[in-house]
Amino acid sequence: MFIIVGLGNPGEQYLKTFHNMGYIAVGDAANLLGAKFKKRECDSLVAEAHINGEKVILAKPLTYMNNSGVAVKQLLAKYKATPQQLAIIYDDYDLPKGSIRIRPCGSAGTHNGMRSVIAETGTQDFARIRIGIRDAAVDVPLINYVLSNVREEDYALFAAACTKAAQAAAELAKGEPCERVMTSFNG
């Protein structure tokens, strides 16, 4: 059993925003694993895949970013999974745009969605796959930036980052140690 959650906001208006990198990446992971988002449960859109006979749940919380932890807590309870069987994919303003950083645990940093996940689950001990979104050339308040649309000239860069994050999530779901996945994908 493994759960991959991509953080984001539901709704057409958020589809191409920086804050939806997690949604996009978990969608890429579902495509990679041959899964489709068909059901709604645990305040999430959910897809199911299997790797080597083990169930993999992929989820897009519908709780909006700042309450993502509510859905994550429900998913862990429903599937009787531990935090060590969880990976969260999300945007991170603290990393340069297009970069990927994987960690086995850690703080929420400046991310409200991760603050919610940590508060609701009561732990920081789960894998996280961060997609860098900071553009040093853009100087706007953080809340405006994360909810703005990705610029067309950056689509290819972020599409590649989301694909890479999806591949890293699939490796974690296969049981690869986080340290090995970090070595392969961080940068």
Question: Which residues in the chain come in under a pLDDT of 50?
Answer: none
Alpha-carbon Rg for the chain in angstroms: 15
Q: Any idea what DSSP says for residue 126?
A: S
C-alpha–C-alpha distance, residues 45 and 61, integer Å: 6
Cα 4 to Cα 79: distance, rounded to the nearest angstrom: 12
Of the candidates 68, 85, 130, 122, the one whose C-alpha atom is nearest the C-alpha of residue 103 is 130
Q: Strand pairing of 86-96 and 2-6?
A: parallel
Architecture of domain 2-185: 3-Layer(aba) Sandwich (3.40)
- Model pLDDT, residue 187: 65
Q: What is the pLDDT of residue 109?
A: 87
pLDDT of 110 = 84
- Whole-model pTM? 0.96
| Catalytic (active site) residue 111 | no
With pLDDT > 90 as the criterion, what percentage of the chain qualifies?
93
Query: Per DSSP, what are the bridge partners of residue 128?
Result: 88, 103
Select which of 2, 17, 18, 19 is catalytic: 19
